[in-house]
Structure 1
Amino acid sequence: MTTLRLRPEDPADTGAIRRVLAAAFARPDVAVPPEVRLVDELRGSDAWLPELAMVAEYGGEIVGCALLTRVLVNSGAASMPALAMGPVAVAPHRQRIGLGTSVVQAALEAATELGERLVVVLGDPAYYRRFGFSRADQLGLTSPWSGLGEPWQALILPPATSGEPSPPRGEVIFPPPWSKV
């Protein structure tokens, strides 16, 4: 029986994660997909949160990843921390068996356990809706991708305590590596 293990990545996983991203986002017109470069650059930035870089290990092989990195929501008077999801990838030979769903759920659960309140994503609404994401503009969030409508999404995570303030509203500020995607 093949075992699925979901866990934060460790430094030894970098090469395997690059291979998963390169295979999942392969295009004939580019040697290295932008998603690979994005993750490489995020790893070297202040936005990198190693405890929220989750991998799916299936049968001892890294076959999927879901990354959450730090963004800020500028609400005018203050900036509040939030998270951006992406990229999410599964090796092509292991797609369509639920590994993507599992690694995304693991990342969101880890974020909730750490007391995070808000996750944004740019992605397929039909896919991310299953996790509770909805249109970010309807939650008062803007970004460079706001004009795309439904793919610009957000998820409010459950608070650790009932007295926590509501999640921030405003402009989501992404770290510089995101501007190259």
Structure 2
Amino acid sequence: MRPERPGDAPAIRAVHEASFPTGAEARLVDLLREAGRLSASLVAEVDGRVVGHVAFSPVTVEARSVGAGLAPLAILPTHRRRGVGAALVAAGLDACRSAGFGWAVVLGEPDYYGRFGFRPASASGLSDEYGGGDAFQVVELTPGSLPAGAGLVSYAPEFASLG
């Protein structure tokens, strides 16, 4: 695991294109990078080849509190079920904590993300703009930093490109 470096963009794009049915997530990462909104962008390498990527970008609650949004996470199909995704998520959360983010959100599979401490955000009074229900989850990275009851969590404007 390592932070994204200059020159990694084509390999990161290829990982996302191989992992999702459309190029939307690959475009999203490119747009976040161009806008300077990749708060944490990590890759997993095997034998010098990028096989996985995770991105975190700023999210806000009522413009009062800034957290990190995990999205997207992609692993090449040939490298799935080997712990690559879990290692990327854990390293990414550590990077967000080190960067001063007190909390993070994800819209994803509760059973998968629960192992990293994520829990339904609705239990903390948080909601998302995509109607994710229990799939919209939050984890507190720094004790006492979670904006409980704060309302709607807004993602970076580049997420609107996903349609």
**TM value normalised by structure 1:** 0.83
Greater Rg by CA: 1
Structure 1 counterpart SS, 2:111: helix
The aligned amino acid for 1:38 is L
Gaps of 5+ in 1: 1-5, 160-164
8 Å CA contact 2:104, 2:141 repeated in 1:
yes
**RMSD in angstroms over aligned alpha carbons?**
1.4
Shift of 1:46: 4.3
Counterpart check, 1:59 vs 2:44:
no
Structure 1 match to 2:155: 174
Query: How far apart are the structure 2 equivalents of 1:149 and 1:71?
Result: 17
* Residues 60-79 of structure 1 mapped to structure 2, 5 A cutoff: 60-74=48-62, 79=64
Shift of 1:59: 1.4
8 Å CA contact 2:56, 2:70 repeated in 1:
yes
**TM value normalised by structure 2:** 0.92
Structure 1 match to 2:118: 133
* Residues 1-181 of structure 1 mapped to structure 2, 5 A cutoff: 6-25=1-20, 27=21, 30=22, 33-49=23-39, 52-74=40-62, 79-145=64-130, 147-159=131-143, 165-168=144-147, 169-181=150-162
What whole-Å deviation, never above 9, does each CA across 1:27-51 have from its counterpart, x for those lacking one?
A: 2xx4xx21111111111224232xx
What whole-Å deviation, never above 9, does each CA across 1:61-111 have from its counterpart, x for those lacking one?
A: 10001111111111xxx5211110010010111111100000111000111
Gaps of 5+ in 2: none
What whole-Å deviation, never above 9, does each CA across 1:107-140 have from its counterpart, x for those lacking one?
A: 0011112221111111111110110100011111
Paired-residue identity, %: 39
8 Å CA contact 2:103, 2:145 repeated in 1:
no
Q: Against the structure 1 CA distance between its residues 101 and 93, is the aligned structure 2 distance closer, same or farther, given a 3 Å change threshold?
A: same
The aligned amino acid for 2:24 is P
Query: How far apart are the structure 2 equivalents of 1:141 and 1:44?
Result: 28
